Structure 1
Amino acid sequence: MPWNEVKPMDEKVKFIADYLRGELAFKALCALYGISRKTGYKWVRRYHAMGLEGLQAQSRRPHDSAVTPYVVRQAILELRNHKGDVLGPKKIQPLLAARFIESLIPSQTTIYNILKAAGCVKSRRRINRTLRSIQPLKTATQVNQLWSVDYKGQFKLGNGQWCYPLTIMDHASRYLLSCQGFSGTTGAEAKAVFEQLFRQYGLPERIRSDNGTPFASVGVGGLSKLSIWWIRLGIIPERITPGQPQQNGRHERMHRTLKLRIGQPGAADLTQQQVILDEFLRHYNEDRLHESLGQCVPKSVYQSSSRRYPESLPELVYPDYFERGRVCQSGLIYWRSLRVYIGYLLRGEWVGLELVGEGIWDVYFGPIRLGSLDEREVKGTKNDYLTLKVSPMSLN
């Protein structure tokens, strides 16, 4: 009986049928079909284990790269959209561990390939970016060393009103401290949110923001009313380089998750939109696993600050070798019979002056260097006016 006269599968079925009838000894049966007894026993084992499907041609791939079971593949596709989040292989893999034994959990590469085969992953065009030399901002390794703040891009609500979500996050723990929707970007509203957070969680060491209102201004040192208040509380403001949002990358990544979560268009009004924002905050802190946290949720990592919010605003303290000047309502300080314009935003505040050279003084507001002045360059009709040479914000 030549083998190539029939399909291999048909030949295997006939072999099993003859084996089940038991009319021939096994050695003779294998000789009749032109196969070894080892092959014959293999077919019999597969038939008893899996029925006729076991006689199909088996994959020659190693056992450790076997086909992922159907139920596991279905679970991967189900977890792709988990509690409103779009998860990748790194987050899906630990969730599979809660459902299946370890030997059934595929690698992250296999999970990715399953998602891609199902059309859940879209290939992105690779963009070659020019490397830029920028001075990286100081990172944070402990909670409350650094908070970040920003407004998520505005969007319209059903009633035509604009919504600007103000988001504040702890850098190290990814804990989302606030996600509050407003109709604008006023300093008074932002300050009220921060005051509530300071009372609840204590004070951070630094707060990082972009250069937009109300976090910064075009005034001296780029200070705003909000950042001046932070400095009085002993908090150092940080600002990213304009046009470099990656310097606040963790916050930007959270905003991308927020955008996917809340969707568009917005709710009917600001009150209903806040319900959605509140639910996102709870989900982000309590449900969403973070790879950087060892697949833990932010709530399990974050702790309140030991620096408590003071009941009264403390005065700034300067070293003994500094001279001091108080900014009047016009934005001037009267110092050594000279007038120096500092800026109206600092009216009522004390600034410190440090002698750094012959007649040259650096001017500080708290730890922030505002600029320098040379008392030899007096001018004006009374020959008593000095101009502050403003410099980029730096720390003492």
Structure 2
Amino acid sequence: MPWRDVKPMDEKILFIADHLREPGSFSQLCERYGISRKTGYKWVERYQSAGLEGLEERSRRPHAVANKIPYAIRKAIMELRRQGRDPLGPKKIQALLSQRFPDQPTPSKTTIYNVLKREGMLEPKRRRRRVQPSPHRLTPASAPNELWSADFKGQFKMGNGRWCYPLTVMDHASRYLLGCQGLDGTRFVESQAVFKRLFQEYGLPNRMRTDNGVPFASTATGGLSHLSVWWIRLGIVPERIEPGQPQQNGRHERMHRTLKLAVTHPPSANLSAQQGQFDRFRVDYNEQRPHEGLEQHSPQSCYRPSSRAYPQHLPELEYPGYFQRQKVSANGLAYWTGRRIYIGYLLAGEWVGLEEVGDGVWAVYFGPVRLGSFDERQTKGRLNDYLTLKV
């Protein structure tokens, strides 16, 4: 015997009939018809208010289209978008529409955005690759050289029209401003030279706190950069604040506010003169200016150089005995038990450590930084010998 098809309307009628005939458990009735109690009560309410007509399917189309706007206003949105070299966004267009059509409801920013999008007047934003979050928790420091912080104070133009990028380095515990060097960019080579000079003069810190910008971090595996790789080889653990959270390096940011007022109003004529201002500021900040956080002592009176001297030769990284060590090739690959793992070009020539953390699951480290993990049973590629490092 063929099955009988039951239309949605018939199902509702049968449900109401059973409900009126068997005023028992409403939950069991709904369960028998495969509907929720909310839907069952809705059908009963519609039947009681409008009879069988109330059970008819209703259009799900909204009664009014909120973003339907007159053609004249749509035309004005497109005109405002086209005018000038710098295209206006929905927020500014909305303000101008309220002035041009004061007697009409002003469209929302979302409606204006949708109009521009439908007309092809918006270019899709390029998705930026995010820097991998720092695996190390930010912890305070109670003694000098436990933690240094570094940052580039916002660049500014000097009198000769050229840009100055001040690189500042400060000891966290004592607030001693170790360096304030004006550079013409944020390149690795120039930045490394500043840190090398500071390491030779003051010794090495245990940790270095920075933001996620160049040259401190990159979108490479582990968020590493050439600079942070060098720090790790020196035994310095890099730690990065969260994106958009400058308060996590609040002491450094507060020093920058003082620096800005002291040396950029007005800026000097050239980099040499500007460096003179930086040097004078360091002397005043470290030796003359009392700090409330230091019980009104000066940073110089609270700082002492590190006992860890800058080495003549870059030491090799050491790993625990239960780690397996693998060297990264020039193309960024590590070869392990006949398989290939892409580690990253930044670590070419470096040794990484592999720790087995589960059945066939290995974690990969560069010094103290965990780069990611892989499962030796999940291979891919044409030769079925490629392992993916998952962060």
TM-score category of the 2 structures, normalised to the smaller one: 0.5 to 0.7
1:356 counterpart SS class: strand
Q: Deviations over 1:3-53 (max 9, x none)?
A: xxxxxxxxxxxxxxxxxxxxxxxxxxxxxxxxxxxxxxxxxxxxxxxxxxx
* Structure 2 residue 348 is the aligned partner of structure 1 residue 347: yes
Distance in 1 between the 2:377 and 2:175 partners? 50
**Which residue of 2 is the match for residue 318 of structure 1?**
319
Distance in 2 between the 1:299 and 1:320 partners? 42
2:191 counterpart SS class: helix
**Which residue of 2 is the match for residue 195 of structure 1?**
196
**Contact 1:164 1:184 survives alignment (8 Å):** yes
**Which residue of 1 is the match for residue 266 of structure 2?**
265
Distance in 1 between the 2:294 and 2:265 partners? 29
**Contact 1:181 1:270 survives alignment (8 Å):** yes
* Structure 2 residue 155 is the aligned partner of structure 1 residue 154: yes
Following superposition, the deviation at residue 263 of structure 1 comes to 3.1
Distance in 1 between the 2:266 and 2:174 partners? 30
**Which residue of 2 is the match for residue 372 of structure 1?**
373
**Which residue of 1 is the match for residue 92 of structure 2?**
none
Distance in 1 between the 2:297 and 2:355 partners? 48
Distance in 2 between the 1:365 and 1:283 partners? 40
**Contact 1:179 1:281 survives alignment (8 Å):** yes
**Which residue of 1 is the match for residue 357 of structure 2?**
356
**% identical aligned pairs:** 65
**Which residue of 1 is the match for residue 284 of structure 2?**
283
* Structure 2 residue 231 is the aligned partner of structure 1 residue 230: yes
Following superposition, the deviation at residue 320 of structure 1 comes to 1.0
**Which residue of 2 is the match for residue 180 of structure 1?**
181
Distance in 2 between the 1:178 and 1:320 partners? 38
2:330 counterpart SS class: coil
In structure 2, list runs of 5 or more residues that go unmatched. Answer: 1-135
**Contact 1:144 1:203 survives alignment (8 Å):** yes
Distance in 2 between the 1:153 and 1:263 partners? 11
Q: Deviations over 1:186-216 (max 9, x none)?
A: 1111111111111111100000000000000
* Structure 2 residue 214 is the aligned partner of structure 1 residue 216: no
**Which residue of 2 is the match for residue 240 of structure 1?**
241
**Which residue of 1 is the match for residue 205 of structure 2?**
204
Q: Look up the equivalent residue of 1:283 and give its one-letter code.
A: D
**Which residue of 1 is the match for residue 139 of structure 2?**
138
Structure 2-normalised TM-score?
0.65
Distance in 1 between the 2:386 and 2:266 partners? 55
Q: Look up the equivalent residue of 1:202 and give its one-letter code.
A: G
Following superposition, the deviation at residue 264 of structure 1 comes to 2.8
1:340 counterpart SS class: strand
Distance in 1 between the 2:360 and 2:138 partners? 33
**Which residue of 2 is the match for residue 249 of structure 1?**
250
**Contact 1:136 1:247 survives alignment (8 Å):** no
Following superposition, the deviation at residue 265 of structure 1 comes to 3.5
Following superposition, the deviation at residue 294 of structure 1 comes to 1.2
**Which residue of 1 is the match for residue 76 of structure 2?**
none
**Which residue of 2 is the match for residue 274 of structure 1?**
275
Distance in 2 between the 1:265 and 1:275 partners? 14
Q: Deviations over 1:334-363 (max 9, x none)?
A: 111000000000000000000011110000
Distance in 2 between the 1:348 and 1:167 partners? 30
Structure possessing the higher radius of gyration over alpha carbons:
1
**Which residue of 1 is the match for residue 337 of structure 2?**
336
**Which residue of 1 is the match for residue 168 of structure 2?**
167
Structure 1-normalised TM-score?
0.64
Following superposition, the deviation at residue 308 of structure 1 comes to 0.8
Distance in 1 between the 2:300 and 2:290 partners? 10
**Which residue of 1 is the match for residue 386 of structure 2?**
385
1:267 counterpart SS class: coil
Cα RMSD of the aligned pairs, angstroms, is 1.0
Q: Look up the equivalent residue of 2:374 and give its one-letter code.
A: L
Q: Deviations over 1:68-88 (max 9, x none)?
A: xxxxxxxxxxxxxxxxxxxxx
**Contact 1:156 1:265 survives alignment (8 Å):** no
Following superposition, the deviation at residue 136 of structure 1 comes to 6.5
1:389 counterpart SS class: coil
Q: Look up the equivalent residue of 1:321 and give its one-letter code.
A: Y
